[in-house]
Structure 1
Amino acid sequence: MSTAPLSSIVDALLLDLDGTVWSGQRAIPGAVDAISGSGLTAMFITNNASRGSGEVASLLRGIGLDVRPEQVVTSAQAAVALASQHAAAGDPVLVVGAESFAQLASESGFRVVSSADERPTVVLHGHNPSTGWRELSEAALAIRAGARYIASNVDTTLPSPRGLLVGNGSMVAAVTSATGVVPDVAGKPGPAMFVQAAERAGATRPLAVGDRLDTDIAGAVASDVPSLHVLTGVSGPWDLVAAPPALRPTYVAESLLEIGQPAERLAPGAQGGFTATARGHDISLGGGAEDATPIDALRTVLEVAWRGDGFTGEVVAASGAAERALQAWW
């Protein structure tokens, strides 16, 4: 691993939004300064299909980032592109989601409908806080009648300042329960959005940044793109310790503020004076310098936990510093 700052060995940032850049459209502390100060082209990849790229760019400008619509890649865009593989221009498409999602489908040449009675070829399902029983039922009727089911994303939760809210994946699960049909998923963890964002940025060494292992990091791994996991959103330290290979990031940080840290420090490995030793199925965490931090302990443990296909044991503290670090992981 390089000892150079992480921001100096990549040429673009492929940034998740919810839980990484903002929470409920409130900037996560330090995120704006870190992105602006990195000197890197920033692309924003969001699984949230409730807003168009222009609206997302406007909201990002509102928190202090200079962002153009073409820097935003949404799962709605990916879903409409996927729909074009199953429906032709002029075909009826039922959209369960925000008005911007329906407008995007219409601009792509589809005839947007709201009733299963119009025999839609495809059902597009994206997040919309206003979605209710009627919309889900129309989707279920259309799918049972043979429509192709495409979800913009299947994130079960949505981060907010109040906690985790119901995400699109939870509403998709209701339709799947009613129909037995699992949708094609256009957004993360599929690779399409990462590839599209890197191409738009003209990047050859992009870095994906996210807070959720099963979407952000899994998508980066599937795209063969190095990734930075930040602990400002959904997936926490214990999720990382137990992560299988397909969900393991290249680097781990507390927040985007650490993007200027040496890449070697952000990668799993012994640091902060901590030691991690495999003891049967468990890991013994010992040592710890006076100024060591919980994330020093985490990266130390990850080096050992990730030697196999998935760690299922316990991390046992063997020093006072280790005990304090493990308590902080909660």
Structure 2
Amino acid sequence: MRLTDEHDGLLLDLDGTVWSGGEGIAHAVDAIQASGLPAMYVTNNASRSASDVAEMLRNIGLTAHESDVLTSAMAAVTMAGRYLEHGDAVYVVGAPSLRKLVRDAGYELVESADGDPKVVLHGHNPDTGWRELSEAALSLQRGAKYLATNLDTSLPMERGLMVGNGSMVAAVTSATGVVPEAAGKPEPAMFEQAASLRGMRRPLAVGDRLDTDIAGGVAAGMPTLHVLTGVSGPLALLEAPPAHRPTYIGADMRALAEDPDALVPGAQEGFVARLDGSAVVLTGGAAGASSVGALRTVLEVGWAGADAPVEVRAESEAAEAAVSAWR
């Protein structure tokens, strides 16, 4: 049995899951195509329009249309409707695509706090600087509602982790004390909306970041697959609170074709784990055993306790090799 046999659709994160810096991550495209399942791409990155994202997906070999993409920018504009009436003023910190969504929704874009915006809508834009953040801060001081597309502190790119929207939001919050309401993951609404758009009844949420992709899927009551190709690595998994713990753990997107029973935390590949105080002791390991097999073995024991273990102690040659590969 394959993991995909248990589901009727995929809710896929992009950065760190499908691509990095716009380049397809190894095995991701082939795995998605081979799954045979419809896919919705659910991304916290608000710097691109849905049509641009779909074009980028086609450029790496995937079949994708604008209707297959749901961005946090789209979700944020929907959220803004709770606080705005047609023609109300909005100050946008974000990309041109976010400004277009706001304009198309019937709101007035203002260029500074002097335009008396009712809402500050903050999304990712690599060109955001001091001026834009300061105008947002001034708007909030004058009573505007603060909404963010997402709160991701970092953004996986080909050179490494870049500054994400959440870090820019943190600067405004530091200056004003105002914490925004966020539209994107880990809120469950994006997952629920994406599944509804494609009529999915048994979707699988897939991502690389525990505090957004996985937490959002868990909050929506959906099975989740965490892939080790992006932000959250093995040590983050070990320390994850229950609300951030995935159903399945895979090295990469090839996990979609693997037996689901082999992807859940549990002893495998000859490894044995036990709890010793605040440490998980890992021993054994068959010839050719993988680091992700060791990880699943450790997680079963580490997640069973009331507190997350503070270390993993390897006491076999295979265990040492596996744990070294995590770092």
Q: Is the TM-score greater than 0.5?
A: yes
Kindly provide the CA deviation profile for residues 234-258 of structure 1, in whole angstroms up to 9, marking residues without a partner as x.
0000000111101100000010012
- 1:270 is aligned to 267
Kindly provide the CA deviation profile for residues 144-166 of structure 1, in whole angstroms up to 9, marking residues without a partner as x.
10000000001111111111111
Change in Cα spacing, 1:310 to 1:216, as seen in structure 2 (3 Å) is farther
- 1:16 is aligned to 13
Q: TM-score normalised to the size of structure 2?
A: 0.99
Deviation at 1:107, TM superposition (A): 0.9
CA contact (8 A) 1:208 1:226 kept: yes
CA distance in 2, matches of 1:212, 1:258: 16
Code of the residue aligned with 2:131 in structure 1: it is: R
Kindly provide the CA deviation profile for residues 279-322 of structure 1, in whole angstroms up to 9, marking residues without a partner as x.
12211111100021111000000011111344133211121111
Q: Is 2:135 aligned against 1:110?
A: no
Q: Is 2:200 aligned against 1:186?
A: no
Change in Cα spacing, 1:199 to 1:234, as seen in structure 2 (3 Å) is same
CA distance in 1, matches of 2:154, 2:277: 35
CA distance in 2, matches of 1:309, 1:222: 21
* Match for residue 324 of structure 2 among 316, 324, 327: 327
* Match for residue 202 of structure 2 among 202, 205, 210: 205
Kindly provide the CA deviation profile for residues 67-95 of structure 1, in whole angstroms up to 9, marking residues without a partner as x.
01011000001100110001111100111
- 2:315 is aligned to 318
Code of the residue aligned with 2:215 in structure 1: it is: A
- 2:118 is aligned to 121
CA distance in 1, matches of 2:270, 2:189: 41
Could you tell me which runs of 5 or more consecutive residues in structure 2 were left unpaired when the two chains were aligned. none
Change in Cα spacing, 1:8 to 1:85, as seen in structure 2 (3 Å) is same
CA contact (8 A) 2:284 2:319 kept: yes
CA contact (8 A) 1:19 1:232 kept: yes
CA distance in 1, matches of 2:56, 2:249: 27
CA distance in 2, matches of 1:222, 1:109: 31
- 1:98 is aligned to 95
3-state SS, counterpart of residue 226 of structure 2: strand
CA distance in 2, matches of 1:122, 1:309: 42
CA distance in 1, matches of 2:11, 2:80: 24
- 2:165 is aligned to 168
CA contact (8 A) 1:156 1:169 kept: yes
Count of residues in correspondence between the two structures: 327
CA contact (8 A) 1:245 1:309 kept: no
Could you tell me which runs of 5 or more consecutive residues in structure 1 were left unpaired when the two chains were aligned. none
CA contact (8 A) 2:283 2:315 kept: yes
**What is the correspondence of 1:59-70 to structure 2 with a 5 Å cutoff?**
59-70=56-67
